[in-house]
Amino acid sequence: MNVQQLSDLYEIQLLKARYFRYMDLRMWDEWRNLFTDDLELYIEDSNTPESATPTIKGADALVAYLAASDPGKITVHQGHMPEIEFLDEDTAIGIWAMFDWVDDPGRGLASQGYGHYHEQYVRGPDGNWRISWVRLTRLRTNDVPHQPPDHQPTLDPTTLSAVAHLQRQ
């Protein structure tokens, strides 16, 4: 791997970190800028990419779809262990292990999921990397109880005692 590819690898990792953060914070204008105009999104009901037909075509269509979802919806996405391969100086592909939490009170459901993002990245004329296609595959999805928005996690007395002990040291 040469110095340029190391720099590009870092930029692609930042791109994906922003993808997750902007989506979870519902920063739709910023999120839109992470994609090529002709983005293709495939949401697969399998553990490997198989579909020949995109679920959504076009970055604007994807953003419009998600922006219209319930404003009370809470998502938490995490990506791990990136495997990035450069196809040429302006194209790369990657696979990210993922975890997501989706709490959708409007539909009365919540779930946590595990799977992979299979993606292609393209360097645009402006020099910025963007996502040109995404294939989201799932290994497992668990339904979990919906948590009201004001739910605050509480620590049991043993944990509180241990935390207080650590703070004194």
| pLDDT confidence tier of residue 105, bands split at 50, 70 and 90 | confident
First to last CA, the chain: 45
CATH number for the domain spanning 63: value is: 3.10.450.50
Q: Looking at residues 61-88, what average pLDDT do you find?
A: 93
**What is the count of structural domains for the chain?**
1
Is pLDDT at 163 greater than 80 in this prediction? no
CA-nearest of 6, 12, 9, 7 to 131 is 12
Is pLDDT at 150 greater than 70 in this prediction? no
Alpha helical stretches, state H, 25-114: 28-32, 59-67
Give 38's DSSP letter: E
Residue 62 in tokens = 């994807």
Q: What is the pLDDT of residue 157?
A: 72
| pLDDT confidence tier of residue 72, bands split at 50, 70 and 90 | confident
Alpha helical stretches, state H, 1-116: 3-24, 28-32, 59-67
Q: What is the pLDDT of residues 89-100, one digit of tens each?
A: 999 999 999 999
Domain holding 38, by residue range, is 3-168
